[in-house]
Amino acid sequence: MIKPDGVQRGLIGKIINRFEERGYKLVALKTVAPSKEMAERHYADLKNKPFFPSLVEYMSNGAAPVVAMVWEGSDVIRQGRAMLGATSPLDAASGTLRGQYCVSIGRNAIHGSDSFESAEKEIGMWFPQAGELISWTPAIWNWVMSNN
């Protein structure tokens, strides 16, 4: 998910491009203006953290939407997190998205699911309707993936 600061800063294309160029497949994409309830649900595991109220406010105040995406491909959850870089951009390796574009933990531009279980939960939350995920085969797929 591209968070409101990433959207405001015009980073949507750059972030999508990084995943496309790596060889991942985009199977769902939409802008969403999260309600307070959606933001609370998305970050429910952080509800006891001191920054939780400001995180929820920032995600849901309507200053910018988020871009929810589902990417598919080999090891995409772990590789996607690596491409994002450390949660705190000051710890993020240069060359990662956060290491290249961000300097503040509260404005780290992107969220990535951290496990298969959280990906399943988050996909269900942001893409609840049947048919929102599209199964398709890029024409270049055989040049990205080998069946050997």
Ligand X SMILES: Nc1ncnc2c1ncn2[C@@H]1O[C@H](COP(=O)(O)OP(=O)(O)OP(=O)(O)O)[C@@H](O)[C@H]1O
Task: Name the residues that contact ligand X, by CB under 6 A.
Answer: 46, 51, 55, 87, 105-106, 108, 111-112, 114
Closer Cβ to ligand X, 114 or 132, answer by number: 114
AA identity, residue 16: I
CB of 140 to ligand X, least distance (A): 28
CB of 134 to ligand X, least distance (A): 24
Let me know if 42 is a catalytic residue.
no
Coil vs helix vs strand at 138: coil
Catalytic-labelled residue, pool 42, 102, 111, 113: 111
What is the distance of C-alpha 109 from the center of its chain?
A: 9
Helix (H) / strand (E) containing 26: strand 25-32
**What are the residue numbers of the active site?**
111
